[in-house]
């Protein structure tokens, strides 16, 4: 079977949002290269019959940016597999975590190995905002914690929390594809992660709440995420540009003592302790 591969380069600050928008507009999969000098390359896999210009235009309008320049080429199935595999190198995060795809072999000294293949939902560990959140989990989880991942995407943070020893892990997302990806990735990693739409989660509080989305949604979610964080619990917020840290931190200041970590490639993580 043949596919269209749409390749484009954008500002790193909008790459993840545009990738999500491309998926919403009909792309089958989106992969992202690591950022380089504040730019980032995306490659979206489309149906052979798709109109790449129309799909890209719809995706760009949905996040209020001008359509970036891109090029589309025809790929055979095997070509796409080889390209995807070449783009996703395994990586170590923090002191314990090793993350790789199903075709990678973890090293003998990997304390916690997490397998995650690229797919329809974001989160392979390659983006700086994801790495910051993974380092937070590696540093904070010691075993037995209740963890909430709000905006779970591929489920990488929820699965990492479970592999690091959390006793209960709940993952929320408004995207049904993300919930399906999280459930499947949790199964492949042999961990218990419960994936829900936000309105399906019953009353519960958590020792650790983590959310790797974007600054403006995080600001709006401040009361909700604070209510889900247990007294003396910790919160970690990622997907935030370093320049946005003060604004996001101010939204959470009524409930948390907040501090910024990073930056890494222009991205920051905010960590807080619940009063």
Decide if pLDDT at 81 tops 80.
Answer: no
Q: Report yes or no: 142 and 165 within 8 Å, Cβ to Cβ.
A: yes
Domain map of the chain by residue range? 2-87, 127-274
- As a whole number, the mean pLDDT across the chain is 88
Q: How much is the pLDDT for 272?
A: 97
What is the 8-class DSSP label of residue 224? Answer: H
Q: In this predicted structure, what is the pLDDT of residue 125?
A: 65
pLDDT reading at 118 higher than 70: no
Question: Domain 127-274 is classified in which CATH homologous superfamily?
Answer: Vaccinia Virus protein VP39 (3.40.50.150)
Residue 89 banded pLDDT, cuts 50, 70, 90: confident
CA distances (Å), 71 to each of 2, 12, 23, in order? 16, 18, 17
Q: pLDDT at residue 80 above 50? A: no
46-64 tens-digit pLDDT = 888 899 999 999 999 999 9
From residue 80, alpha-carbon distances to 31, 70, 133, 169 in Å are: 11, 18, 29, 33
CA–CA distances in Å: residue 193 to residues 9, 62, 147, 230? 34, 31, 10, 19
pTM of this structure? 0.72
- Tell me, which fold does domain 2-87 have in CATH? Alpha-Beta Plaits (3.30.70)
Determine which of 104-118, 214-228, 256-270 has the lowest per-residue pLDDT on average: 104-118
């Amino acid at each position: 079977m043949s596919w269209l591969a749409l390749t484009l380069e954008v500002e790193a600050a909008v790459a993840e949002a545009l990738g999500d928008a491309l998926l919403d507009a009909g792309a089958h999969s989106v992969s992202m290269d690591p950022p380089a000098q504040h730019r980032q390359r995306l490659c979206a896999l489309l149906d052979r019959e798709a109109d790449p210009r129309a799909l890209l235009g719809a995706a760009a309008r949905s996040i209020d940016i001008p359509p970036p320049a891109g090029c589309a080429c025809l790929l055979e199935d095997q070509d796409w597999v080889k390209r995807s595999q070449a783009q996703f190198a395994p990586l170590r995060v923090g002191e314990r975590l090793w993350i790789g795809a199903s075709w990678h072999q973890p090293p003998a000294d990997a304390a916690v190995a997490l397998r995650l293949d690229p797919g329809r939902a974001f989160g392979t560990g390659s983006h700086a905002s994801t790495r910051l959140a993974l380092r937070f989990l590696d540093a904070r989880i010691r075993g037995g914690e209740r963890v909430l991942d709000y905006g779970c995407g591929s489920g990488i943070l929820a699965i990492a929390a479970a592999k690091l020893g959390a006793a209960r892990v709940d993952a929320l997302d408004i995207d049904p594809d993300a919930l399906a990806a999280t459930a499947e990735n949790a199964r492949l990693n042999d961990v218990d992660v419960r994936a829900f739409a936000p309105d399906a989660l019953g009353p519960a509080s958590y020792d650790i709440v983590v959310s790797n989305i974007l600054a403006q949604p995080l600001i709006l979610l401040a009361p909700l995420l604070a209510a889900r964080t247990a007294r003396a619990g910790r919160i970690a917020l990622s997907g935030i540009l370093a320049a946005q840290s003060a604004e996001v931190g101010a939204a959470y200041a009524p409930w948390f003592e907040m501090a910024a970590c990073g930056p890494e490639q222009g991205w920051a993580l905010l960590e807080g302790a619940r009063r």
